[in-house]
A and B are shown apart, each in its own frame.
Chain A
Amino acid sequence: MRERDIITQRLGISRRDFMKFCSATAVAMGLDASFAPQIAQAITAARRPPVIWLHGQECTGCTETLLRPSHPTLDHLILDLISLDYHETLCAGGGHQAEQVMHQSIKENEGKFILVIEGAVPVKDGGVYCQVGGKPFVDTVREIGPKAAAVIAIGSCASWGGIQAAAPNPTGATGVPAILKEQTVVTIPGCPPNAQNFLSTVIYFLTFNKLPALDSKNRPLFAYGRLIHENCERRPHFDAGRFAGAFGDAGHRLGYCLFKLGCKGPVTHANCPIQLFCEVGSGAWPVGTGHPCFGCTEEGVGFNTPLFTQAKITIPTPAATPPPITTEQESQVTPLATTLTGAAVGVAVGAAMMAGKKATSEDEE
């Protein structure tokens, strides 16, 4: 059977649409579009790599975001690109039957499957706060993790604990990288993360058989290499000092910068402004809709800094206009200081004069 027919039959899309998707994926990963044939080959390879998808402390938002994109065949692609052997939300079976399938797949594909973990791992009190099949989730992660070819932590919860790890963190929620310290755990933080970033990471792994370049927090650099602030469509307003002061005020209506409303864009690494969400066109991301960025992809910002608290700018950039050649320096002497100093000098002079007078009159006597 020809490649075209295989794709048409298996994925239910035309070859043309499929190649378009592959080119778009290559570009999203920061690769040249000429990588599209290689990606297409990886995706259509006869043997689909098995994926085990585990859920911990989470809201299933990450799974939802993966099903949400409006690209007509994305769900087809996910189900056909990978062999999703175990996924609690999408499993047809349930109970011990499903568990058995998972263990069977792990046994058969040891060292070959991709492990995706969604949700935080509670470790307090032996991990009793999240159990699946009567077994603490932390034990499951420790058991399955080392057997996987690659581990991907999807979402902020799996990356560092997310909302569960926010103070006071009653369950001891921890990110997967902190549990599987021996391995490289790729993190795709976000609440929810962009499905495209996850897909691109998986496809990169399938195509090149290695993980993409990662930053210090194991986030793929192609997606998390730059600050939201750097690519934000409202950045010119920031540089020009035009800010929305309150929701619904004149500045907010005109689309001014949301920094003063608590936007965490200047401290958050993510590709939201360029990747956007749900494939519905421009403006489909939080700042585009007029809401400040929450910083969900940045550990220590999302779920840690209050939503409307202004971010502390740690990576400074200069203002739009350079200073003039000479700037008048403001006097550091305040009127109060002048008054006090003047009074003290006056007292001293007065006292000296009085003392001098007294001495003179004593001499005269």
Chain B
Amino acid sequence: MSLSRRDVLKGAACTGLVLASGVNAQARDKTLPPAALGILYDATLCIGCQACMSGCKRANKLEPDPSGNESLWDNPTELSTKSLTVIKQYRQNETEDKAQTVKSGFIKRQCMHCVDPACVSACPVSAMQKDPATGIVTYNKKACIGCRYCQIACPYNVPTFEFDKPFPQIVKCQLCDHLLAKGDIAACCQVCPTGASLYGPVELLKEEAKRRLALPEGQVALFPANDIRTGRTVSHTTAEYQQHIYGEKELGGTQVLLLSSLPFAKLGLQDLPEESYAGVSENIQHTLYKGMILPMALLAGLLYFVKRNER
């Protein structure tokens, strides 16, 4: 087989054309499902009672997660295989944050149920799935091969792996989807006494979050509690909000939205770009491998040089 210089150049030009047309053809349809369900956590309403943690343990049949020498309490410090949600507390450091007017604040950590989840993108066997209707990110233990890519891919450090078990699974919040079938809502929102954890369709929750951000500080207002659709309300004095809905735009948005009067960075939630990591990596990968043209061109090129140098 002999390749003329002319043929190689022709092939290269064609490949270039295909690539050029392919780069922008990777539009991924990753928008919020219309019936997406989520949670609005308002840290200004949270009293740190941790009823959500107890409720979560009961609903998901989780073991106690003690820390330190005392094993009497359920006392997780981070999300773990035994704790799908954790309430953490920010306490002002007198030397470092002197200017801070808010001295203490709570934050609820759990799976954010991303609109474009990195774990689903990273999973090689589709064990992590995003429900097309509710948008809940679920885990299928039967498909899982235990590679833990999801754990590494997650920008919020949520999935955990049962390293201590002979047949381990990935453990993360699945928004109590086993209760949804029974007509119940997520256990953490069911038990929340103040309405700090509010369950409902994400679109309604977003509207509610925007309404709260617009409320003037120090005014008594009604806040929906448990499930935004039931109309149950609790009255609270409004706090000064950070004008930012965490999860509205972070990495393409999440179905768990957070409000706080403290900067989110203080609560361990980093500033994140608007484009999802899954989108960036998938664009690169899909562009490189689109139609296998680029790999084929590379192979052809290599073959050409091998052939040429044979004699």
Query: Could you list which residues of chain A lie within 8 angstroms of chain B, going by C-beta atoms?
Result: 238-239, 241, 259, 313, 315-319, 321-327
Residues 149-197 (chain B) with a chain A CB within 8 angstroms: none
A123→B48 CA distance, assembly (Å):
53
**Contact present for A318 and B53 (CB under 8 Å):** yes
Does the CB pair B58–A322 fall under 8 Å? Answer: no
Q: Which A residues lie within 8 Å of B205 (CB)?
A: none
Q: Does B206 contact A (CB under 8 A)?
A: no
Min CB gap B65→A, angstroms: 8
Contact, CB under 8 Å: B70 / A322: no
A317-B54 contact, Cβ under 8 Å, with A324-B89, A324-B90: yes
* A321 touches which of B72, B76, B86, B89 (Cβ 8 Å): B89
* B residues in contact with A313, CB < 8 Å: 64, 72
Contact B106 A322 (CB under 8 A): yes
B contact residues around A317 at 8 Å (CB): 50, 54, 73-74
Flag if B88 contacts A324 (CB, 8 Å): yes
Q: Are A259 and B76 in contact (CB under 8 A)?
A: no
Determine how close the nearest CB of chain A comes to the CB of B218; give it in whole angstroms: 26
Q: Are A318 and B77 CB-contacts (below 8 A) given A241-B70, A324-B88, A325-B90?
A: no
- With A313-B72, A322-B87 known as contacts, the answer to whether A327 contacts B77 (CB < 8 A) is yes
Kindly state the separation between the CA atoms of A327 and B70 in the bound complex, as whole angstroms. Answer: 17
A contact patch SS: loop
Chain B contact-residue range equals: 20 to 34
Given A313-B72, A318-B87, A325-B107: 9 more A-B contacts, CB < 8 Å: A239-B73, A316-B54, A318-B50, A318-B74, A323-B77, A324-B88, A324-B89, A325-B268, A327-B77
Most chain A CB neighbours (cut-off 10 Å) among B67, B77, B90, B107: B77
**Interface flag for B307 (CB, 8 Å):** no
Closest B residue to A326 using CB positions: B268
Whole-angstrom CA separation of A317 from B83 in the bound complex: 12
> Considering the chains assembled together, what is the distance between the CA atoms of A352 and B106 in angstroms?
56
- Most chain B Cβ neighbours within 10 Å, of A318, A326, A327: A318
Q: When the two chains form their complex, are residues A315 and B58 in contact, meaning their CB atoms are under 8 A apart?
A: yes
Given contacts A241-B70, A323-B75, A327-B78, contact A318 B88 (CB under 8 A): no
Q: Is B103 an interface residue (CB 8 A)?
A: no
Interface residues of B in 93-119 (CB under 8 A from A): 106-107
Quick one: closest A residue to B53, CB to CB?
A: A318
By a CB distance below 8 angstroms, the chain B residues around A326 are 268
Say yes or no: B77 contacts A316, CB within 8 Å: no
- Across the interface, do B48 and A322 meet the contact criterion of CB distance under 8 Å? yes
Complex Cα distance, B79 from A326, in Å, reads 11
Q: Does B91 contact A (CB under 8 A)?
A: yes
Contact of B74 with A322 in the complex, beta carbons under 8 Å: no
Query: Could you list some 28 contacts between A and B, CB below 8 A?
Result: A313-B64, A316-B63, A316-B74, A317-B74, A318-B50, A318-B53, A318-B54, A318-B73, A318-B74, A318-B75, A319-B73, A322-B48, A322-B50, A322-B86, A322-B88, A322-B106, A323-B67, A323-B75, A323-B76, A324-B77, A324-B88, A325-B88, A325-B89, A325-B90, A325-B266, A326-B268, A327-B77, A327-B78
